[in-house]
Amino acid sequence: MLATTYRRPYKVRVDHVPDPVIEHPNDAIVRVTRTCICGSDLHLYHGLVPDTRVGSVFGHEFCGVVEEIGPSVQNLKVGDHVTVPFNIFCGSCEMCQRELYSNCRNVNSQSTAIGGIYGYSHSAGGYNGGQAEYVRVPFADIGPTVIPQGMHIEDAVLLTDVVPTGYQAAEMGDIQEGDTVVIFGAGPIGIMAARASWLLGAGRVIVVDHVDYRLDFVSRFGPAETVNFREVDDMAIHIKKMTDWMGADVCIDAVGAEAAGSAMQRLTGVKMKLQAGAATALYWAINCVRSGGNVSIVGVYGPTFNAVPIGNALNKGITMRMNQASVKRHHPRLIEHIQAGRIKPREMITHRLPLEEVDEAYHMFASKQDNCIKTVLIPPR
Ligand code: NAD
Ligand code: ZN
């Protein structure tokens, strides 16, 4: 089959690799119909994720058709159309019982504490991903959700990550009726967090980025007020001025490892106004939230990232919550929101390309070319 394989930092390509096979009675094989590139894939692409092996297959956002099931699988049948959460989880351990699927004890790496994720390096279990024609889905009775009748395939594929992660970002902020929410990052995750903030009762939503076309998009999709951080000298003062000197009730970090900023600088040649090596978005989030407010982090960092102004956080008495999204937990509610038209995920899809053009697709998404927000790859067939 054809699959997206990692070659080296800034280089992926489509290769012929062996078809996946059932390795365990609980496995299914899914024929991929749509798959996306995520901001998290950029951390792999930039060579920032430990133990990313040459030749491994990328992709944790995919939906498709069940092609084959192992002998123990009962909840799926061949021919079902499914959307598959990016987390791989057993469904029965102590963590899964608490719906902390991203922290499943049976799949979690004890050394890095990263849960099982499709196509996300050997530090996340070494599972091959779904930017391919076929993918092996472990715990097939537990992870996949059968796509409801009538749901658009491009909405379904965004249920694998973007919609639940954006929703969980807002949920972890514990937004109260009328709260002011400031979101750092106008990528797909920040855009969806803006939408979800309204659904959870926000009274005001402000999104910060420096990519104008993304700010423009979120100003309509959120909707949201926007701040271009290139035009701001001191972010904390700026947000305070916007909020009657109070600060935000809730700040959300939808950016993560700032090294992505320097990586982008390398790709575009555009100098970024960022402190080298610092978690600027997280730093801003802590400094922009009001005393006693909440900071929610979904942006992804390396396991031992340290540049956090923890003293400010303590002095302000803020609450910080963070996690990889537990995608499956959110599916019932989010399917309802999509069916009712309260969330229209596929509006953020800007590009649809054949899987064979994956190298160009990664480059375009990473360097923010051609007004790219979200790219869907379509495998041949
Ligand atoms: P993306 O790369 O498309 O978007 C990131 C945005 O942040 C870009 O528009 C960039 O211009 C902007 N940005 C960079 N530095 C900034 C700063 N200091 N302040 C404000 N904005 C800044 O990525 P995405 O797909 O939206 O993902 C966002 C983050 O969420 C990534 O770190 C990704 O790994 C992470 N993520 C986490 C989970 C989870 O479960 N926790 C799931 C999916 C993605
Ligand atoms: Zn993703």
Other Cβ atoms closer than 10 A to 80: 17
pLDDT of residue 373: 98
Tens of pLDDT along 10-23? Answer: 999 999 999 999 99
Tens of pLDDT along 241-286? Answer: 999 999 999 999 999 876 555 555 555 555 544 444 456 889 899 9
Distance 128 CA to ligand 2 centre (A): 14
Contact 182, 206 (CB under 8 A): yes
End position of a domain, from candidates 301, 322, 343: 322
Domains identified in the chain, total number? 2
pTM of the model: 0.95
pLDDT of residue 172: 98
- 13 and 34 housed in the same domain: yes
Phi/psi-derived region of residue 341, left when phi > 0, alpha when psi is between -120 and 50, beta in every other case: left
pLDDT of residue 276: 40
- 290 and 147 housed in the same domain: no
Contact 41, 9 (CB under 8 A): no
pLDDT of residue 274: 44
> Taking Cα atoms as reference points, which of 161, 305, 181 lies closest to residue 243?
181
- Average pLDDT of 171-189? 98
Binning pLDDT at 50, 70 and 90, where does residue 200 land?
very high
Distance 75 CA to ligand 1 centre (A): 34
- 277 and 331 housed in the same domain: no
Contact 64, 159 (CB under 8 A): no
- Average pLDDT of 135-153? 98
Phi/psi-derived region of residue 239, left when phi > 0, alpha when psi is between -120 and 50, beta in every other case: alpha
Q: Average model confidence (pLDDT) for the chain? A: 92
Which value, in Å, is the radius of gyration of the alpha carbons in the chain?
A: 20
- 344 and 372 housed in the same domain: yes
Phi/psi-derived region of residue 30, left when phi > 0, alpha when psi is between -120 and 50, beta in every other case: beta
Instruction: State the Cα–Cα distance between residues 287 and 279, nearest whole angstrom.
Output: 12
> Taking Cα atoms as reference points, which of 203, 207, 201 lies closest to residue 222?
207
> Taking Cα atoms as reference points, which of 328, 280, 304 lies closest to residue 123?
304
- 177 and 157 housed in the same domain: no
Residue 71 domain boundaries:
2-161+326-378
Distance 40 CA to ligand 2 centre (A): 5
Between strands 180-184 and 28-36, the pairing is unpaired
- Average pLDDT of 130-139? 98
Q: Rounded to 5 degrees, what angle do the CA atoms 327, 330, 331 make?
A: 90
- Average pLDDT of 142-153? 98
Torsion sign, CA atoms 62, 64, 66, 68: negative
- 176 and 303 housed in the same domain: yes
Cα separations in angstroms, 59 against 62, 248, 275, 286, 366: 7, 35, 30, 31, 15
Instruction: State the Cα–Cα distance between residues 165 and 188, nearest whole angstrom.
Output: 10
3-class secondary-structure state, position 204: strand
- Average pLDDT of 187-205? 98
Is 123 or 258 the better-scoring residue by pLDDT?
123
- 14 and 153 housed in the same domain: yes
pLDDT of residue 266: 58
Mutational pocket test of ligand 1: of 36, 40, 327, the residue with most ligand atoms within 8 Å of the beta carbon:
40
Q: Is the CB of 235 under 6 A from ligand 1?
A: no
Tens of pLDDT along 63-119? Answer: 999 999 999 999 999 999 999 999 999 999 999 999 999 999 988 766 666 789 999
Q: Which ligand is nearest to the CA of 131?
A: 2
End position of a domain, from candidates 278, 298, 322: 322
- 205 and 312 housed in the same domain: yes
pLDDT of residue 275: 43
Predicted ipTM?
A: 0.99
- 125 and 261 housed in the same domain: no
Instruction: State the Cα–Cα distance between residues 240 and 227, nearest whole angstrom.
Output: 13
CATH number at residue 314: 3.40.50.720
> Taking Cα atoms as reference points, which of 303, 307, 258 lies closest to residue 287?
307
pLDDT of residue 277: 42
- 186 and 292 housed in the same domain: yes
End position of a domain, from candidates 322, 341, 363: 322
Return the structure tokens found at 309: 């102004």
Mutational pocket test of ligand 1: of 189, 229, 297, the residue with most ligand atoms within 8 Å of the beta carbon:
189
- 47 and 102 housed in the same domain: yes
3-class secondary-structure state, position 236: helix
Which residue CA neighbors atom 26 of ligand 1 most closely?
187
The DSSP string of 286-323 is HHHEEEEEEEEE-S---TT-----HHHHHHHT-EEEE-
> Taking Cα atoms as reference points, which of 26, 22, 61 lies closest to residue 41?
61
> What is the position in ligand 1's atom list of the atom closest to the CA of 325?
40
- 265 and 182 housed in the same domain: yes
Tens of pLDDT along 342-355? Answer: 999 999 999 999 99
CATH number at residue 356: 3.90.180.10
> Taking Cα atoms as reference points, which of 23, 115, 41 lies closest to residue 363?
41
> Taking Cα atoms as reference points, which of 252, 255, 225, 254 lies closest to residue 241?
225
